[in-house]
């Protein structure tokens, strides 16, 4: 029998007010896992109350003092890496390499914001010799962070580190499918010296725990990563309350490859979009747009590479049953519309992938841009390809989407690569494999959301500007 996990409120485990618990499942085996507390409005209220009590003392500390605590939290994540990896693996089925990378990046978030926190301050404004005017960057108070099931620990740390750095307290509501690593993080943070009540975790479903949390009058800012539909719901709640919000939603991101590009590296990037987290990443570049003379050769290279990927070793399963069924539904719909995959297009019915929610890496080549599988976010190991004739058509195809989260451009002509990148409607664009990390701001255009995470921009998201002016005249 698995472990039964409580909420984390005020620096200690807290039983659910209604006494209920929810099951979890290991998606790589479909075997039962741990149980988590089924949160309610009463639990959200307890957590917000604890956060509100702890926040003023935290905000009164200097940036240097807060930074020291955040450095210790980063160290605790690194020291607890094996535990964090195991609880994350149990509910996501991810590969060891991916888990180790995600835990390392989780620690990096805390180290980065601890480092730049000392440069987080207001400015003086020259209004003449008779006045002293300046600005302060002040915390909102209590922040609600509602995080998804695809990258649970990583997404939690991405929101929590800058929110705490800016002087806020946080109530996190992780997905009910993947809550345990966030609970473990909260315990480790407390052991590292984060004051009780600054990081609270309420588990449970979105309607029962997430919605009441976002609607709570004590919450002064909300951050959400997840689906467009849920983002719209929460944005409506925040708008009614006049509470600011950061939304990181879906994507159907383009990977543009010109014929003169380093196609071996471009192929590797396309394969990574399929393999990393089995495509369950909103920033996955799953629309492969290739200049017509190179299209067939690039597709052949991608197909050859994805057919070598091994379930459980090179990529993980669909994390939820609903997502598993959704991807299979996309395959059925594509078939009805006349699209036939070059490879894949089904779940595994034999071998090591058959026991879990594994989907065969799938490539649809030369698809019409109006097909559903070419337009909607599949959120699985599925790539669609389209040829283009010239630069203008490449940009038009890249922008022919409701989304605008990320993009990638591969070109032998760096000037053209930058020119195309500047014309694509997306919040983050990599040219020829340009590095992107904790330091680079991340967020969407169009239906991919608003606000920015990562970089110094995220620190500013969690602070509000106050102007103070003093007359020096006698």
Residue closest to 406 by CA, chosen among 222, 248, 276: 248
pLDDT digits (tens, 9 = 90+) for 22-58: 999 999 999 999 999 999 999 999 999 999 999 999 9
Kindly state the tokens that stand for 107. Answer: 């620690």
| Catalytic one of 88, 377, 453, 461 | 377
The 3-class secondary structure across 285-346, one letter per residue, is CCEEEEEHHHHHHHHHHHHHHHCCCCECCCECCCCCHHHHHHHHHHHHHHHHCCCCCCECCC
Q: Distance between CA 162 and CA 34 in Å, rounded?
A: 30
With tokens 């917000």, the residue in question is: 48
Residue closest to 250 by CA, chosen among 24, 34, 457, 449: 449
Whether residue 90 has pLDDT greater than 70:
yes
In this prediction, residue 247 carries a pLDDT of 97
pTM of the model: 0.97
* CB 227 within 8 Å of CB 250: yes
414 CB neighbour count, 10 Å cutoff: 11
Stated as kind and residue range, the H or E segment containing 255 is strand 254-257
DSSP structure class, residue 151:
S
Whether residue 322 has pLDDT greater than 90:
yes
Q: Distance between CA 314 and CA 334 in Å, rounded?
A: 26
pLDDT digits (tens, 9 = 90+) for 259-274: 999 999 999 999 999 9
Whether residue 61 has pLDDT greater than 90:
yes
The residues, any chain, with a CB within 8 Å of residue 404's CB and separated by 6 or more, are 251, 425, 426, 427, 444, 445, 446, 447, 448
Q: Is 184 a catalytic residue?
A: no
Rg value, the chain, Cα = 23
Residue closest to 261 by CA, chosen among 90, 410, 76: 410
In this prediction, residue 163 carries a pLDDT of 98
Q: Is 377 a catalytic residue?
A: yes
Confidence category of residue 84, pLDDT binned at 50, 70, 90:
very high
Q: Is 173 a catalytic residue?
A: yes
Whether residue 471 has pLDDT greater than 90:
yes
What does the CA dihedral 263, 267, 270, 275 come to, rounded to 10 degrees? -160
Q: Distance between CA 195 and CA 197 in Å, rounded?
A: 6
DSSP structure class, residue 194:
P
Confidence category of residue 1, pLDDT binned at 50, 70, 90:
low
Whether residue 470 has pLDDT greater than 90:
yes
DSSP string, 167-185: T-EEEEE--TTS-HHHHHH
In this prediction, residue 155 carries a pLDDT of 97
The residues, any chain, with a CB within 8 Å of residue 322's CB and separated by 6 or more, are none
**Averaged pLDDT, 374-395:** 98
pLDDT digits (tens, 9 = 90+) for 137-184: 999 999 999 999 999 999 999 999 999 999 999 999 999 999 999 999
| Catalytic one of 176, 248, 291, 461 | 248
Q: Distance between CA 60 and CA 57 in Å, rounded?
A: 5
Whether residue 198 has pLDDT greater than 90:
yes
* CB 268 within 8 Å of CB 234: no
In this prediction, residue 2 carries a pLDDT of 80
| Catalytic one of 282, 453, 454, 461 | 282
104 CB neighbour count, 10 Å cutoff: 13
In this prediction, residue 474 carries a pLDDT of 86
pLDDT digits (tens, 9 = 90+) for 399-443: 999 999 999 999 999 999 999 999 999 999 999 999 999 999 999
**Averaged pLDDT, 222-226:** 97
* CB 167 within 8 Å of CB 139: yes
Residue closest to 107 by CA, chosen among 29, 175, 160, 41: 160
Per-chain mean pLDDT for the chain:
97
pLDDT more than 90, % of the chain:
99
| Catalytic one of 35, 94, 173, 184 | 173
Q: For residue 4, what are the β-bridge partners?
A: 35
């Amino acid at each position: 029998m698995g472990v039964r996990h409580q909420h984390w409120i005020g620096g200690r485990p807290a039983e659910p007010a209604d006494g209920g618990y929810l099951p979890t499942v290991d998606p790589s085996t479909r075997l039962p896992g741990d149980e988590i507390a089924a949160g309610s409005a009463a639990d959200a209220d307890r957590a917000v109350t604890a956060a509100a009590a702890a926040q003023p003392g935290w905000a009164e500390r200097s940036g240097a003092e807060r930074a020291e605590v955040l450095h210790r939290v980063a160290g605790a994540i690194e020291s607890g890496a094996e535990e964090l990896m195991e609880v994350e693996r149990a509910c996501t089925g991810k590969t060891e390499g991916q888990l180790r990378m995600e835990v390392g990046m989780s620690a990096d978030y805390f180290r980065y914001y601890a480092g730049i926190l000392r440069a987080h301050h207001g400015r003086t404004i020259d209004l003449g010799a008779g006045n002293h005017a300046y600005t302060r960057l002040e915390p909102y108070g209590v922040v609600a962070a509602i995080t998804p099931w695809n990258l649970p620990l990583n997404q939690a740390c991405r929101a929590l580190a800058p929110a705490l750095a800016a002087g806020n307290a946080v109530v996190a509501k992780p997905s009910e499918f993947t809550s345990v690593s966030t609970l473990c993080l909260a315990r480790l943070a407390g052991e590292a010296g984060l004051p009780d009540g600054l990081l609270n975790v309420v588990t449970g479903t979105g309607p029962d725990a997430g919605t009441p949390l976002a609607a709570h009058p004590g919450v002064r800012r909300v951050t959400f990563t997840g689906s467009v539909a849920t983002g719209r719901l929460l944005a409506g709640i925040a708008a009614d309350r006049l509470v600011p919000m950061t939304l990181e939603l879906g994507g159907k991101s383009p990977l543009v490859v010109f014929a003169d590009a380093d196609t071996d590296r471009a192929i590797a990037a396309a394969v990574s979009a399929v393999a990393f987290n089995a495509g369950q990443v909103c920033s996955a570049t799953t629309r492969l747009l290739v200049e017509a003379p190179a299209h067939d050769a690039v597709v052949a290279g991608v197909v050859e590479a994805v057919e070598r990927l091994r379930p459980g070793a090179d990529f993980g399963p669909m994390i939820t049953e609903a997502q598993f069924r959704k991807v299979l539904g996309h395959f059925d719909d594509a078939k009805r519309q006349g699209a036939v995959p070059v490879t894949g297009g089904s779940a595994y019915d034999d071998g090591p992938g058959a026991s879990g929610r594994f989907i065969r890496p799938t490539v649809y080549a030369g698809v019409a841009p109006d097909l559903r599988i070419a337009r909607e976010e599949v959120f699985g190991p599925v790539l669609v390809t389209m040829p283009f004739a010239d630069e203008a058509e490449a940009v038009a195809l890249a922008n022919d989407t409701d989304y605008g989260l990320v993009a990638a451009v591969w070109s032998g002509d760096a000037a053209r690569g930058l020119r195309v990148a500047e014309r694509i409607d997306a919040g983050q664009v990599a040219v020829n494999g340009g590095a992107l990390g904790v330091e680079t701001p991340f967020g969407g255009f169009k239906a991919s959301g608003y606000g920015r995470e990562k970089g110094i921009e995220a620190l500013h998201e969690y602070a509000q500007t106050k102007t103070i002016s003093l007359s020096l005249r006698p």
